[in-house]
Chain A
Amino acid sequence: MKYEHITDLIGNTPLLKIPAHVHGLKNIDLYAKMEMMNPFGSVKDRIAWGIIKDDIEEIQAKGKTIYENSSGNTAKALQVIANMHGVKTRLITYLAKVDGVKDIVRMLGADIEEVLGGSECFDPNDPNDPQFLIAKMVKDDPEKNYFPSQFTNPKNPDVHYRTTGKEIVDDLKQVDFFFGGLGTSGSTLGAARRIRDEGNPDLVSVGVCASKNDFIPGIRSLDQMWESGLFVKENYNDFVYVDSGESVDAMMDLIRGAGLLCGPTSGASYLGALRYLEKLDHELTEKKNAVFIACDRVEWYTDYIRERRPQLYGLKMKPGSLRAFEFDAGASKERFTVKVDKAQAWIDDENPLIIDVRGNLAYKMTTIPNAINIPWELFETMIDAADPFPKDRPLLLVCPVGEKTSRYAAYLQTRGYRSFSLDGGILEWRNASCRLVKVS
C-alpha cells in the first residue's frame, strides 16, 4: 500500500479479538482497538494531528512554537509532526515518570521542561501547574505561541468521535461495552458518543482509573478528573479502579496469551474490562461485544515494569556468585575481620592491598593510607565475574561501618582469597584516632 504522508497512516487501526481462553469470558467477545498501530506508536497520534493539522500552515508561516502539557505519547506525536514541518516545540510537564518515553521524546529533539507544583494534588490554581504556566505564556504572546491544550480542547473528543468511534462501529456493528483509561478523557468520551449515535444507545461506557497514589501512564484518578476541562461524568456508566502492578500482570497476559505487545496502560484498560465484565458474564443469555483501547506498545516501559514486577526479568543467581552467597554475620567473625586496635600492626606485617569500597568523593576526602578506591557497585561486579586480585596478597576491605565488607571478605575467602574486612569500618578507624589521609 502506497502513502504520500506518514500522517495518512494515522487511524484506521485494527480491531483484534482476544482469544476467549485468555480472558475467560463465556458470553462476551472482547476486542482490542489496536491504537498502538498508529505510526508514532499510540492513540495520541490521532489528537496530536487532529488538533493541529488545520493550523499547521499558520504555525509554520508565523514561526510559532507549539507548547503542550505532556512528556509522554502526545509529546512524542507532536514532536514528530513538528519536526517534519520545521516547527519548534516546548513541552512543559510535571516531572515525567516514564523515562523510556521521555528519552525518545528528547531524542526526537524536544525541549522538555519539568516542573513541580507546591501541593501534592493536581491544582489548577497552582502557579506552577503546567497547564496554567503554558496558558499564561501563550496569552502573553499569541502570535508566537500555539497551545493545542489536549486537556481542554474540544477537538480532542471530536477527533475520536469522527475517527476512533466510527471505525469501531464500522468494524463491529454492535458494541455493548466500551473501556478506556481516563486521562484527558478524549478517547472514551468521543468514541462512546459516536457508538451511541450510530444506533447503540445502550452502550455501557466504563472509565478505567488509577488509584490516587498509584501511577499508570496516561491515566489519572477519578478524583483528578474533575479538573480536566473535558471530563463529563454523566457520559460514563461506571468507573473501575485498577492498580499499576496488577495492570502489568494483565498486560503480560495480553502479551503472552494474545501476542499483543501493548503497554501497561492497555493492561489497565484490559484489567478494568475484565473486572467489570466478569460480574455480568454468567448472567448473559446472548452474546455481547466489548471493546477496550490498546493505546501503545510495551517497549518503552521496561524500567516501569521492572519496578513493579522485577521477577519478569528473571534475575537468576549464578551458583557461587556473590548474590547467591549466604552470609552468616554472626559466625566466627574473627576469621574474616581485622579489629581496628590490631589493624595497623597487621597492615605493617602483611602489606595487604587495602580497598576502600566507598564512593569516590568520600575516598578523596579522607581514607586509610595506601588504600585504593573501588566503589562497591563496581567491586561487586568485579568479584562476581572474575578474579581481579592476586590470591597470595592479603586484602583489607574498608566500608563505612564494616557491614558490606564483612560479607565480601567472607565470600572471597570461599574463593581462596586471603580477604579481611576492617571491623567497624572506617568510622571505627576514625573514632580510634587512627591516621587518615586526604587523596587528591
Chain B
Amino acid sequence: MKIADQCLADDLSTQAADRSRPKVRPAMHPAIERFLSDEKLVFSLVDGLGSPLNVIFPRQIEETIGRFERVYKDRQLQGTIFYTSKPNKSHALKKQASTTKVGLDVSSEGELKSALTSGFHPDRIEATGPKNIDYLALCIQQNVLINVDNFAELKQIVRMASYSPKGRKARILMRLDGFEPGRVKFTAQDSAFGTPVKDAPAIIDLLVEHKDTIDFHGFSFHFNAGDYIRRPPAIEACLQLTFRCIELGLTPSAIDIGGGYRIRYAACQDEWNTYVEELKASVLGNRDSLTWNDSGLGYYREDGVLKGAPNFMEHYHKNDGHEDFASVIDTPLPAFDGYSTARIVSDNMFELHIEPGRALLDQCGITLAHVNFDKQSILGQQLSVLDMNRTNLNSTQLKLMTDPVVIYRNLDRKPADKGVMYVGNLCLTHDMIQYHKTFPEFVPQTGDAVAFINTAAYQMDFAEAHVLEQAIAKKIAVIEDENGALRWFLDELYNPMAIAGGIKP
C-alpha cells in the first residue's frame, strides 16, 4: 500500500477529486496504517489463520477513553464512562478496557458472565437491555447496577431483591423515553425501549414504597447517533425528576445520558461529499450507476427530482466521539436558566454516566478477507468475490461506505477503470458485502487481501453466523511492543496486565 492511498490531511483546497471514479478513503489510525504496510505480516496472518480475519487494535481504546475522561475532568464531572460490550465480542478489547477506569455495560446474561471473567468487578458493571429472569437474578446476586427497562422488570426486581442477604439493596437506574418536545417540535419516534416519562410519578411512588430493597441511583435514557434535538428536553426531564425524587426522600445520585456519539469513518470531507453527490447524480440518471442493481441506497427519482433518504450514516463529522459528547453536555438547558448539563450535574454533585458504545471502538479493528476470484456480473459489472460473507460485515443500521484498502499480491493486475463491487461467498444470487461501487487502482484478484477499516463497532461480529457452514472470522489482537515490533495474539490469549507487567514473554 502506498502512502498516496491515504488521505490524512483534510484540506478543502486540495485539487478536485476525479468525479468519474469517486473515492471515500477511510480515516485510519497510524497504528492500523503501520500494520497494513507490513504486507508480509498481513498475508501470513490471513493465509495462516484463514479468511475472514478480524484484527483488533486493543490499545486504541485507551487513547479514546482518555479523550472522554478529559471532557469529564475539564468540567469537574464525576461519574462513569461505560464501555459497551454489545458492539464487539472481543475479549482483548474488554480486557484492555478493564485496565482503565471505565465501567462495563452488558446487555445479556452471557455478556454479564463474560464481563466477570474479563476482569470487571461487579461494582463496575451496568446491566442494560430487555432482561429475562436469570439475567436479572444474576445481576441482583452480583450487586450489578441494573438499568431497568420497564415497570414489569422493576416489580420483578422488587420481589427478587427482598430475598437478598439482609441489608443489601438492588442498585438500579430507571430508563425513560417518550419525552415531551418542549420548545422544539419533533414527531414522536416509537421505541421498544424504556418506560414512558408520563409513568414516572407511578415509578417514583413504587421506588419510595420499596426504598428498603431498592437503591435508586437515577434516571437514564439513550438516543441514537445524530439525535441531537431530543437530548436537551430528555436531560431536563431526567434532572427535574431527580430533584423531585430528592424532595420525596430518595437519594438518586446520578443521571445516565446513554451514548450515540459518532465516529468519523471517512478521511476527507471533500471525498465524502463528492461520493454522495455522485451517488445522487447517478440516481437521477446523470451518470453511470454507483449502486448494485441501481438500488440507490435509499434514494430514488420521482418526476425528475431526487427523493428518499440515505440508508447509510454520515461518514464525516467535524466533531466526533468525545467532541460530540462535549457538545451534548455543554448545550444550555432552557429549563435550567441556560445552564449546561455539565454545570448542573457538577454543581449538584451528581454523577454523569455515559455509554458511548460505538465511539469507544473507533479505530479499534479491521476486517481482512482473501479475494477468491474476480468476475463480471451478468450485466457486466466488475465483481471481486471475497472469502467472507455479509454476516461478517453486517451492521444493525449502518452501511459501511468507505473504500476497503486492497493489498495486492503483485501488481500484475488489470486496471479497475469501471469500478469494483465486492461480493461474498454465500451461495445466493447476490451476497453483497457493499452495495456501492468503489474504485481501487486495480481489480483485486485471487489471493489479494482486502481490508475493511474501522469495523470494530457493530460491523465485524454483531450478526456473524455459521451460515452455509462458512467460517466465522477468527480474531487476533495486534500491538506494538516496546521495541516497536508488531506482535499478535489470538484474541482470547491477549492479556494486557501480564504484558504491562513484563510477565508474558
Interface residues of A (CB under 8 A from B): 95, 113-116, 118-121, 123-128, 211-214, 221-223, 226-227, 229, 233, 241-243, 275, 358-359, 361-363, 365-366, 399-401, 403-404, 425-427, 430
**Can you give 9 contacting A-B residue pairs, CB < 8 Å?**
A118-B186, A124-B307, A128-B185, A128-B186, A128-B187, A223-B277, A366-B348, A403-B76, A425-B76
Find chain B residues with CB under 8 A from A127 CB.
187
Taking the closest CB of chain B, its distance from the CB of A47, in whole angstroms, is: 21
Q: Which of A121, A361, A427, A430 contacts B314 (CB 8 A)?
A: A121
Task: Determine if A227 and B76 form an interchain contact, defined as CB atoms under 8 angstroms apart.
Answer: no
Taking the closest CB of chain B, its distance from the CB of A360, in whole angstroms, is: 8
Give the number of A-B contacts (CB < 8 Å).
Answer: 113
Taking the closest CB of chain A, its distance from the CB of B58, in whole angstroms, is: 30
Find chain B residues with CB under 8 A from A403 CB.
76
Encode contact with A along B288-321: 1 for CB under 8 Å, 0 otherwise.
Answer: 0000000000000000011111100110111000
* B336 interface residue per 8 A CB criterion: yes
Task: Determine if B276 and A223 form an interchain contact, defined as CB atoms under 8 angstroms apart.
Answer: yes
Task: Determine if B347 and A362 form an interchain contact, defined as CB atoms under 8 angstroms apart.
Answer: yes
* B272 interface residue per 8 A CB criterion: yes
Task: Determine if A241 and B185 form an interchain contact, defined as CB atoms under 8 angstroms apart.
Answer: no
Task: Determine if B272 and A212 form an interchain contact, defined as CB atoms under 8 angstroms apart.
Answer: yes
Please judge, given known A-B contacts A126-B309, A400-B76, whether A226 and B317 are in contact too, CB under 8 Å. Answer: no
Task: Determine if B76 and A118 form an interchain contact, defined as CB atoms under 8 angstroms apart.
Answer: no
Task: Determine if B349 and A116 form an interchain contact, defined as CB atoms under 8 angstroms apart.
Answer: no
Assembly CA distance A233 to B306 (angstroms):
13
Task: Determine if A361 and B348 form an interchain contact, defined as CB atoms under 8 angstroms apart.
Answer: yes
Assembly CA distance A173 to B51 (angstroms):
67
Task: Determine if B280 and A116 form an interchain contact, defined as CB atoms under 8 angstroms apart.
Answer: no
Task: Determine if B349 and A426 form an interchain contact, defined as CB atoms under 8 angstroms apart.
Answer: yes
Taking the closest CB of chain B, its distance from the CB of A67, in whole angstroms, is: 15
Stretch binding the partner chain, chosen from B110-118, B170-178, B200-208, B338-346: B338-346
Please judge, given known A-B contacts A115-B184, A221-B273, A362-B344, whether A427 and B78 are in contact too, CB under 8 Å. Answer: yes
Assembly CA distance A403 to B76 (angstroms):
8
Task: Determine if A213 and B269 form an interchain contact, defined as CB atoms under 8 angstroms apart.
Answer: yes
Taking the closest CB of chain A, its distance from the CB of B212, in whole angstroms, is: 21
- The A interface, classified by DSSP as helix, strand, loop or mixed, is loop
Interface residues on B, range: 35 or more
Taking the closest CB of chain B, its distance from the CB of A36, in whole angstroms, is: 26
Taking the closest CB of chain A, its distance from the CB of B238, in whole angstroms, is: 15
Taking the closest CB of chain B, its distance from the CB of A86, in whole angstroms, is: 28
Please judge, given known A-B contacts A115-B186, A400-B76, whether A123 and B309 are in contact too, CB under 8 Å. Answer: yes
By beta carbon, the residue of chain A nearest B348 is A362
Encode contact with A along B184-205: 1 for CB under 8 Å, 0 otherwise.
Answer: 1111010000000000000000
Assembly CA distance A358 to B243 (angstroms):
16
Interface residues of B (CB under 8 A from A): 12-13, 76, 78, 183-187, 189, 226-229, 243, 246, 269-270, 272-273, 276-277, 280-281, 284, 286, 305-310, 313-314, 316-318, 336-337, 339, 343-344, 346-349
By beta carbon, the residue of chain B nearest A275 is B13
Task: Determine if B186 and A116 form an interchain contact, defined as CB atoms under 8 angstroms apart.
Answer: yes
Assembly CA distance A123 to B298 (angstroms):
11
Please judge, given known A-B contacts A114-B185, A119-B309, A226-B284, whether A211 and B349 are in contact too, CB under 8 Å. Answer: no
Task: Determine if B309 and A223 form an interchain contact, defined as CB atoms under 8 angstroms apart.
Answer: no
Closest A-B pairs by Cβ, 3 of them:
A362-B347, A116-B229, A358-B347
Assembly CA distance A114 to B185 (angstroms):
7
Q: Which of A214, A243, A359, A401 contacts B76 (CB 8 A)?
A: A401
Find chain A residues with CB under 8 A from B336 CB.
359, 361
Task: Determine if A430 and B349 form an interchain contact, defined as CB atoms under 8 angstroms apart.
Answer: yes
Task: Determine if B269 and A211 form an interchain contact, defined as CB atoms under 8 angstroms apart.
Answer: yes
By beta carbon, the residue of chain A nearest B336 is A361
By beta carbon, the residue of chain A nearest B270 is A241
Find chain B residues with CB under 8 A from A212 CB.
269, 272-273, 316
Task: Determine if B12 and A125 form an interchain contact, defined as CB atoms under 8 angstroms apart.
Answer: no
Task: Determine if A121 and B310 form an interchain contact, defined as CB atoms under 8 angstroms apart.
Answer: yes
Taking the closest CB of chain A, its distance from the CB of B297, in whole angstroms, is: 12
Find chain B residues with CB under 8 A from A213 CB.
269, 316-318
Find chain A residues with CB under 8 A from B189 CB.
118
Find chain A residues with CB under 8 A from B276 CB.
223
Assembly CA distance A126 to B227 (angstroms):
14
Assembly CA distance A242 to B246 (angstroms):
51
Please judge, given known A-B contacts A127-B187, A359-B339, whether A427 and B349 are in contact too, CB under 8 Å. Answer: yes
Task: Determine if B347 and A95 form an interchain contact, defined as CB atoms under 8 angstroms apart.
Answer: no
By beta carbon, the residue of chain B nearest A122 is B309
Taking the closest CB of chain A, its distance from the CB of B42, in whole angstroms, is: 33
Task: Determine if A223 and B185 form an interchain contact, defined as CB atoms under 8 angstroms apart.
Answer: no
Find chain A residues with CB under 8 A from B277 CB.
222-223, 226
Task: Determine if B185 and A120 form an interchain contact, defined as CB atoms under 8 angstroms apart.
Answer: no
Task: Determine if A365 and B243 form an interchain contact, defined as CB atoms under 8 angstroms apart.
Answer: yes
Assembly CA distance A245 to B89 (angstroms):
42
Please judge, given known A-B contacts A212-B269, A361-B348, whether A125 and B185 are in contact too, CB under 8 Å. Answer: no
Taking the closest CB of chain A, its distance from the CB of B189, in whole angstroms, is: 6
Taking the closest CB of chain B, its distance from the CB of A115, in whole angstroms, is: 4
Q: Which of A221, A227, A242, A400 contacts B347 (CB 8 A)?
A: A400
Taking the closest CB of chain A, its distance from the CB of B180, in whole angstroms, is: 14
Q: Which of A114, A126, A226 contacts B184 (CB 8 A)?
A: A114
Task: Determine if B318 and A400 form an interchain contact, defined as CB atoms under 8 angstroms apart.
Answer: no
